[in-house]
């Protein structure tokens, strides 16, 4: 007769800790599920809420002095009265991002009376805008689904662990299968969410070409500083425009989501720094929606392609997993499975290679175009060496490692037709870096604390370079990436030729 193995006390303690950790993850997932579900529900219900009037009692435009001489901005807050009771709230509309909320309150000020809508069953709940728009709820809906899948994932592991402990291996096996199925569903859902994000960006970018043009004005330009930049690492432009007798504010510049490149952080500042008026393109159906630049870019299409490919890979595995349990009536042939999986795997590499090749030859074109660009004098306003480790983490110069890359960062200012510009592009070929810190420091010494001559694009003065160099690296990147693209393309052709 077999004797059952006894579980030791240390094993029980480890198991209980494991269950506790899983319970915490399950709880956080369930909490997220509840929060996003409630946000979607309240957004739907707010359409029928009662109208009222409120007064803004606090606004971020104010500055409040606090202890230790720290100055902090106040938060947006409005007050209202329902049946003789005072209430305070800060909700503009459910589903808005922080950037959208910040844009909405640009038009408002302290002591201003505004229209609001409150919940008659619970008057402490209120919104300034009660419109229900699916586009504003895309993120909450996607996060709701994600939290739902995570809850099932952690719960299935927790239950299977408990069942194994009590010797219920057969039932535990079913929960393990549910775990793997949910895991595949999550890996399929994540790229699909990127597909929805990029498809929305592409749709809006194309739609913006038909939007109505109107005049607007710059309200403010807010810059975000980092520890290494003497100027700005990110710039937000808030602008105002009127339509139908109502004033709106926004900070959306465009749907042109291109790859970041060196100097990009200054382009927004250069374009709108000295501007008072600006042309605004607004959506005639939803006048709160507007852009300063029409159209879409290549980047959303690239993200869309990546999302489709990776969702295909995990989606096919998920479909095969379901098919193994006889829940699909139609089976996918093995040849087609292999063809689609290999195509989905290689297609992102082809897209990346084509994109890099395009950027390389684009820099070659700019290099030759810059032969006829004018030059002007610029003043160096900041220079330092940026350190990037193997994980892409930016460090201080003292945090160097053997695998670190040293990137010279030089910022300069110049004036074109009495307008000031800021730039930090050193060469046309892209970002310059070296594994030798002394080489990067030598570049800084060439420009530190002195005036220099720069090349600038007369059609777009915000584009400028310290040196008209880097063409060799641009040619190399363009040619090598182009050859790699051809190689991958031939592989894809071969894959579909052998498909029967």
- Report pLDDT digits (tens) over 453-492: 989 999 888 888 888 877 888 888 899 999 999 999 998 8
Torsion over CA: 491, 494, 496, 498 (sign):
negative
The residue that leads in pLDDT, 332 or 90, is 90
Residues in the chain: 500
Same domain, 376 and 287: no
Q: Which of 258, 274, 293 is the last residue of a domain?
A: 293
Beta-strand ranges (E) seen in 107-155 are 113-119, 122-127
Q: Which two tokens stand for residue 301?
A: 């299409």
Q: Is the residue at 247 inside a domain? A: yes
Q: How much is the average pLDDT of 47-61?
A: 89
User: pLDDT grade, residue 71 (50/70/90)?
Assistant: very low
DSSP annotation of 397 reads: G
The pLDDT assigned to 68 comes to 47
Tell me the HSE value of 110 on the side-chain side, using a 13 A CA sphere.
10
- 77-82 and 85-89 beta bridge pairing: antiparallel
How many CB atoms are closer than 10 A to CB 99? 12
Average pLDDT over residues 71-95: 85
Q: Do the domain assignments include residue 235?
A: yes
Statement: residue 370 has pLDDT above 80: yes
Looking at the domain assignment, is residue 200 inside a domain? Answer: no
Domain C-terminal end among 129, 162, 196: 129
Cα separation of 193 and 314, whole Å? 13
Structural contact between residues 47 and 132, judged by C-beta atoms closer than 8 angstroms: yes
> Of 293, 315, 341, which one is at a domain's C-terminal end?
293
The domain total for the chain is: 3
The boundaries of the domain holding residue 222 are 212-293
Q: Helix, strand or coil for residue 131? A: coil
Whether the pLDDT of residue 265 is over 80: the answer is: no
Residue closest to 207 by CA, chosen among 288, 295, 279: 295
pLDDT in tens, 192-216: 888 888 888 888 889 999 999 999 9
User: Is 378 within a domain?
Assistant: yes
Instruction: Give the strand pairing for 85-89 and 122-127.
Output: unpaired
Q: Which two tokens stand for residue 78?
A: 């409005």
pLDDT digits (tens, 9 = 90+) for 123-160: 999 999 887 777 677 788 888 888 898 888 888 888 88
Indicate if the alpha-carbon torsion angle 344, 349, 355, 361 is positive or negative: negative
Distances (CA, A) of 76 to 115, 170, 287: 15, 56, 22
Residue range 386-443, pLDDT digits in tens: 776 655 444 454 455 555 778 888 888 898 888 888 888 888 766 666 677 777 777 7
Q: What pLDDT does residue 86 have?
A: 93
Residue 70 forms part of a structural domain: yes
DSSP-assigned letters across all residues of 301-359? HHHHHHHHHHHHHHHHHHHHHHHTTT--SSPPPHHHHHHHHHHHHHHHHHHHHHHHHHH
Distance CA 149, CA 143 (A): 10
Cβ pair 245, 332 in contact under 8 A: no
Within 10 A of 415 (CB to CB), how many other CB atoms are there? 13
Q: Can you tell me the mean pLDDT for 351-366?
A: 87
Residue range 348-360: mean pLDDT, rounded: 87
In three-state secondary structure terms, 418 is coil
pLDDT exceeds cutoff 80 at 260: no
pTM, entire model: 0.70
- Per-residue pLDDT of 268-297, as tens digits, reads 777 777 667 888 999 998 888 898 888 877
Q: What is the mean pLDDT of the chain?
A: 80
> Within a domain: residue 476?
no
Stronger pLDDT, 221 or 38, i.e. the higher one: 38
Task: Quickly count: other Cβ atoms within 10 Å of residue 78's Cβ.
Answer: 26
d(Cα 7, Cα 10) in Å, to the nearest integer? Answer: 8
Q: pLDDT tens digit string along 168-190? A: 777 777 788 888 888 888 988 99
Are 373 and 458 in a shared domain? yes
CB neighbours (10 Å) of residue 194? 17
Q: Which residues contact 267 (CB under 8 A, 6 or more apart)?
A: 462, 463
What SS3 state is found at 267?
helix
- Quick check: is 332 in a domain? no
Q: Does residue 322 sit within a domain?
A: no
CB 496 within 8 A of CB 301: no
Q: Which pLDDT band holds residue 259 (cuts at 50, 70, 90)?
A: very low
Where on the phi/psi map is residue 84: left (φ > 0), alpha (ψ -120 to 50), or beta? left
Query: Any idea which residue has 């409005």 for tokens?
Result: 78
Least confident of 21-30, 83-92, 312-321, 363-372: 312-321
Residue percentage of the chain with pLDDT more than 70: 83
In this predicted model, what pLDDT tens digit does every residue of 35-53 receive, in sequence order?
A: 888 888 888 888 899 999 9
pLDDT over threshold 90, residue 264: no
Quote the distance between the C-alpha of residue 252 and its chain's center.
Answer: 14
pLDDT at 300 over 70: yes
User: Which has more confidence, 202 or 330?
Assistant: 202
Do 238 and 222 form a contact (C-beta atoms < 8 A)? Answer: yes
* Across 82-90, average pLDDT: 91
């Amino acid at each position: 007769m077999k004797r059952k193995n006894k579980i030791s006390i240390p094993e029980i303690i480890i198991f209980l800790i494991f269950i506790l950790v899983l319970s915490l993850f399950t709880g956080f997932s369930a909490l997220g599920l509840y929060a996003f579900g409630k946000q979607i529900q309240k957004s739907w219900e707010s359409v029928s809420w009662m109208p009222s009037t409120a007064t803004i009692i606090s606004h971020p435009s104010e500055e409040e002095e606090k202890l230790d001489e720290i100055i902090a901005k106040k938060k947006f807050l409005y007050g209202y009265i329902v049946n003789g009771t005072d209430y305070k709230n800060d909700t503009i509309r459910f589903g808005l991002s922080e950037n959208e909320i910040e844009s909405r309150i640009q038009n408002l000020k302290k002591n201003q009376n505004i229209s609001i809508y409150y919940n008659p069953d619970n008057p402490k709940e209120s919104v300034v805008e009660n419109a229900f728009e699916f586009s504003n709820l895309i993120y909450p809906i996607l996060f709701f689904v994600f939290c739902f899948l995570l809850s099932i994932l952690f719960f299935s592991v927790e239950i299977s662990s408990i069942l194994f402990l009590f010797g219920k291996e057969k039932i535990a096996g079913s929960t393990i299968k549910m775990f793997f199925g949910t895991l595949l569903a999550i890996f399929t859902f994540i790229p699909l969410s990127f597909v929805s994000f990029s498809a929305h960006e592409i749709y809006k970018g194309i739609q913006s070409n038909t939007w109505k043009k109107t005049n607007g004005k710059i309200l403010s330009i807010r810059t975000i500083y980092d520890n290494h930049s003497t100027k700005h690492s990110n710039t937000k432009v808030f602008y105002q425009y009127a339509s139908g007798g109502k004033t709106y504010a926004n900070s959306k510049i465009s749907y042109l989501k291109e790859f970041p490149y060196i100097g990009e952080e200054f382009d927004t500042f250069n374009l709108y720094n000295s501007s008072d008026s600006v042309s605004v393109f607004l959506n005639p159906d939803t006048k709160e929606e507007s852009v300063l630049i029409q159209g879409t870019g290549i980047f959303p299409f690239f993200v869309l392609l990546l999302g489709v490919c990776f969702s295909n890979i995990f989606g096919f595995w998920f479909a095969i997993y379901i098919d193994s349990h006889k829940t699909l009536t139609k089976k996918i042939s093995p040849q087609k499975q292999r063809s689609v999986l290999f195509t989905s795997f290689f297609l992102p590499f082809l897209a990346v290679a084509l994109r890099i090749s395009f950027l390389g030859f684009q820099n070659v074109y700019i290099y030759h175009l810059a032969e006829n660009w004018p030059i002007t004098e610029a003043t160096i306003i900041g220079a330092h060496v940026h350190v990037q480790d193997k994980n892409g983490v930016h460090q201080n110069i003292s945090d160097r490692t053997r695998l670190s890359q040293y990137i010279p960062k030089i910022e300069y200012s110049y004036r074109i037709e009495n307008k000031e510009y800021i730039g930090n592009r050193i060469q046309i070929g892209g970002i310059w870096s070296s594994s030798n810190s002394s080489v990067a420091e030598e570049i800084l010494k060439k420009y530190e604390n002195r005036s220099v001559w720069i090349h600038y694009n007369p059609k777009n003065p915000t584009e400028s370079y310290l040196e008209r160099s880097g063409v060799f690296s641009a040619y190399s990147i363009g040619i090598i990436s182009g050859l790699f693209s051809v190689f991958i393309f031939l592989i894809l052709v071969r894959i579909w030729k052998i498909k029967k």
